[in-house]
Structure formats: structure tokens, C-alpha cells
Amino acid sequence: MRNLLLTLRYDGTLFHGWQFQSNADSVQRRVEEAFHSLSGKNENIIGCSRTDAGVHANMFCCNVRTECAVPAEKIPNALNFYLPKSVSVYDCKEVPADFSARYNAKGKEYIYLIDCEPYRNPFYENRALFYPYPLDIGLINENAKDFVGVHDLSAFCSADSEVQDKVREIYECKAEKDGGLIKITVSGNGFLYNTVRIIVGTLLDIQNGKIENGSVPEIIESRDRSRAGVTARPEGLYLNKVFY
């Protein structure tokens, strides 16, 4: 029995996230089907996290315990033969038997892309949020820095979250211009459901005057979801890095 760590990227536009669902297509379903085609057995693929419908990944890690004898370096091409073009495995290596892509992860980095040009760019369709309004990078960063640190993020997660411990550490939160895009980077030791999308929505609501400038610390302290901004649309969000 081997334990293999797979690293892949995917365009999440047509998927209902990573997690297997009986009534909808998911990335996990496609990877498990591809591995079944390769090994001839039904294998359980363990992902590093869940992603929402429409969310993408530049780096997504998962592990599988298998008796498949194909050399690790040949598995990416073998799996990609069976996978749709929207999913690509680009690395595979053997890891210790007790390694878990989910529980051994030390942190993650997400990026959120905003197309702020006055006219919609078709090449960013489903891959960036179209927001054709002026954005003040300085103002965004002034407020983004207030997310850095150890906080109870109750105000920045889905209201129906059943997670009891909502304390997380945010390592970095910043915005920068990248051509016609604004890129917001958020990294931390863990994230709650919709946290990054709510952070982005809050920063945009501060930008457009719906939320008071400088109020992020008060919103965090309130632990009240209704005080934070909207949940930004999923198409601009990418799981960018996973740290082990």
C-alpha cells in the first residue's frame, strides 16, 4: 500500500466545488473516476480543503492510499489522459503512510482577482469579478492590514457555519494591481466557510462607502456577520498555495 500526494490545478467554472456530491459534478468525482480508470479500483481521494462552486485552484493537494504500481512520476500524465481539460495533475510523490493532505496542511494562500476595467474582458469571464468602478489600492490596503493577526472570524464566515472554534491567524492580506486586474492575496493558517470572499466583499463595501473606512477592527470584535460586507462572487477566487 502506497500513499500518494497529488498536486493539481483546475478551472472550477463547471464544478460544484471539490467535494463529492451525489447530484452534481465535482472535481473530487472526476479525480476518483480517473484513478479508478488507472488502477481498476475505487480509491478514496482526500482533499486539502473544500472549495465552493465556481471557485478555482492553482494548487490543490490531495492524497490517495493505493496499491497502484504505476511509478509516481508517470501518474500525472496517466491521470490527465482520463481527466477533463479543466483539471490537470502536475505533480505526484510518495508520502508517509500517515500523511493527510487535509490534516497536515499548515496554511493556505488564496488570491481574488477583480477586473476593474470599464469594459468587460471576455478572457476574464468566470475567472475574475467584473467590477467596472474606480478602486483605490491605498484605501484597500489601509483596511486590509487590519485583518492580519489572530482573530475570531465569526463576522467573516457564513452565518450557518457549524464550526465552533472560529479563531484563525491571518498572515497576510494585501491588494496589488496586476495589469488590468486587482489581485487581493489572503494567507493564513486556516479559513472558515466563505471567509476570503467576505473579506473581499467587505473591502469593496468600504471602497464604495457602504461600510465606514477603518471599521474592520470593530467588525471583527463584534463577531456579527451582518456587520461585514457582502460575500463576493466565487469566480474571482483561487486557492493559490497550500503549505505543509
Residue 220: closest CA among 149, 168, 156, 144: 156
CA distances from 4 to 26, 85, 91, 168, 242 (A): 21, 22, 10, 29, 16
Residue 126 is classified by DSSP as T
Query: Any idea which residues carry the catalytic annotation?
Result: 52
Q: How far apart are CA 28 and CA 113, in angstroms?
A: 24
Tell me which amino acid residue 16 is: H
Helix (H) or strand (E) holding 174: strand 167-178
DSSP string for 217-229: HHHHHHT-GGGS-
